[in-house]
Amino acid sequence: MLSARPGDLSDPRRIVDRYIDGTRLRLRRISVAGPAVYKLGQKVRPDENDPSSVLLTNMYLTAGEYEQLLGLPFAEVRKTRYSLEAGGTQYAVDVFEGRLEGLVLAESDFGEDTVHEPPPLAGVIAEVTTDNRFSGGTLARTDKDGLWALLSSFGIT
């Protein structure tokens, strides 16, 4: 988790994630220059007690298939994802919008069996990679008061 959006960001992609109620499924719309990309995905932790291991499955959808699934009840997250290179590593930096405005997360996939260290970026507040409170599905169901309570647990006021 970062205290602010870092400079030198590139490749902005607007992402709308809709976490379908009662499932582990995520409906995603990614907007860049050109046509949007639509995905239906599932992130599963094979062992709920080990948040470091995540299995991800994605299916690409047509715009029509995406529209059909929008009728399902969901909780939503909106963000812009940027690319950033720091310390020889490529990071994805998510800048959240709406009720989660002010939340900035940076992540990189280091592979399995890797100790997660905070990235070498200015403004790092905490390492939250394995903190379920920062999973997309949890954040989608977090209101502004819940976000501030979460941030205050890290000393942010």
3: in domain:
no
Question: In this predicted model, what pLDDT tens digit does every residue of 124-156 receive, in sequence order?
Answer: 788 787 788 888 999 999 998 998 888 888 887
121: in domain:
yes
Query: For the chain, how far is it from start to end, CA to CA, in angstroms?
Result: 14
Q: How far apart are CA 77 and CA 52, in angstroms?
A: 22
CATH classification of the domain holding 87: 2.40.320.10
The domain in which residue 108 lies consists of 10-152
94: in domain:
yes
120: in domain:
yes
E strand segments, the chain: 10-20, 25-31, 37-44, 55-61, 74-86, 89-96, 104-107
Q: How far apart are CA 79 and CA 140, in angstroms?
A: 11
Question: In this predicted model, what pLDDT tens digit does every residue of 36-92 receive, in sequence order?
Answer: 999 999 988 888 777 667 889 999 999 999 999 999 999 999 999 999 888 788 888
The domain total for the chain is: 1
Question: Residue 81 — φ and ψ, nearest 5°?
Answer: -105, 130
